[in-house]
Structure 1
Amino acid sequence: MERMMGQVLFYFFAVFSLIRGEVIKGSVPLNSGTFDKLVPKFKAALVKFDEMYPYGDKHKEFKKLAEAAISQPDLLVGEVNIADWGDKENADVGERFGVKKDDFPSIKLFLDGKTSDPVDFKGKIDVNELKSFIVKYSDYGQKDNADLAERFGVKVTDDYKDHPVIKLFLRDKDDPITYDGDYTLDSLRKFVASDGGLWLGLPACIEEFDKLAKSFFLANDEEQKEIYKTTLAKAEEIKDKDEHDRARYYAKTMEKLLEHGNDFLDKELKRITKLSEGKLSELKKKQLNDRVGILTSFKLSLKDEL
């Protein structure tokens, strides 16, 4: 019965808003006469305190949130629009909750039907940030995967400043390994390879030949020549044309490294990247992109050994 009464009041004030200015779909205008009648009817009430005729990006984001919340019967989205001129409409409501003109827009979340002790929203006014804020502080909405986050000790904060959190799960270990490095391809690749014992290849790369490239940089001059010969021989054994061409490029790269040294990698990467940006057939673009991937893999192997 109480929920039904709340819904009746909701629709009444939605109609009433038609005569007072802009209609925000899903949001109810509140004042000193309606605030204490409506807010207690809902499990959670998100209220924006703002100037009498708000506008701009923040207001647009709030409107998106209001529309998204229409289907949630336990959530009220409302506005208290305050005038600082004339009769100073709704200024009393602003004063009641300590909202000053300099605070506009100020967003507060009222919980469990209480009209006191609201939670202040302090993040960026964005529809997704607002949704996360509501879910965190109330039982409204589905807290996606919160059980998994709690299970593995991942804390969810208002600003998500400690996210993302990456964990590596290994088949023979009960506890995952938490990643604490930089969020770069190079660092993540090393993490998966060293802690997981896995190969994480770049596009177009071949695991067996990546290992040969890695061993190439560990070897002395004479050993490098032998690794080059082994790589060339293995490439010739491959029947599939596309894979054969990529494997041959590993051997060709080693040959150039023997002739020109490690500086060849940066120069060749720059040259091929520039070529790939030109007007080319799809086949030629693929070939060049394959080479970029293989050269990058060589560079990462070189970095690992420096």
Structure 2
Amino acid sequence: MRSLLAGIVAASAVASAMAATMGVVTVDQYTIDKVVDGTRTVLLKVDRPYPYGEKEDAFKEFAKLAGSLSVEDSKGFLIAEVNVQNYGDKDNAVVQERLGLKESEFPAYLLFKDGASPADGGASKAIRFKGQVNTENLLAFVRSKVGIRVAGPGTVAAMEKLVDELLLASEDDRPAVLEKARPVAAKLHGEDHTRGQVYLRLMEKVISKGTEWPAKELKRMESLAGKKMSSAKRTTVEHKLKLLPSFVREEL
């Protein structure tokens, strides 16, 4: 009997550990105000219990990448999640009510920074992530709103730095940044060389069409993602979907 109970406890512990998301602090209705307390910048994910699917996979990849940053590089940034149960004991339902969220909005991402917290104004002082949930968009959101850079899958670190430089430059200075980027892209090898050429084309578009163009193009690429197309066209779309978020400076 004791061995059976021990087995159940062990299995429960393993399941709990497997359910935890790397790089994420799980909070509940009792601990949320102790973690998201206004002393640090926190991205809070509000979701159903045991989430799964593409959005959850994207979140886990994002959390792993962001969580791998050093304390210095992360600037104290923290990712937290609270899972709301709207049946039975209704665990953490009070958190959903405080934040003014509907279950249909799950997963919801709220960024609390500059002293904002759920205890001080609920979600009214948080910055809401409104983009399509994927790893690249979440990384771009954090980069834009928190000021930390995390190298996303399919990106090239050397080119990412030049993207930042391009977007921070004045309209007159952007062509010089593009010329600076050309030899960097030329020195890349393999798949990174292909990506480097995409970076250059996107930079050229920003110079000719302005900094609002990447957000519009990203939405267009997202609408094309599920449609039939040639393998060459699909490769182009996939590259753009991974790289365009780095160029977006609007709120995602």
TM-score, normalised via structure 2 length: 0.46
Higher normalized contact order (CA 8 Å, seq sep 6+, divided by chain length): 2
Look at both structures and tell me which one has the larger radius of gyration over its CA atoms.
1
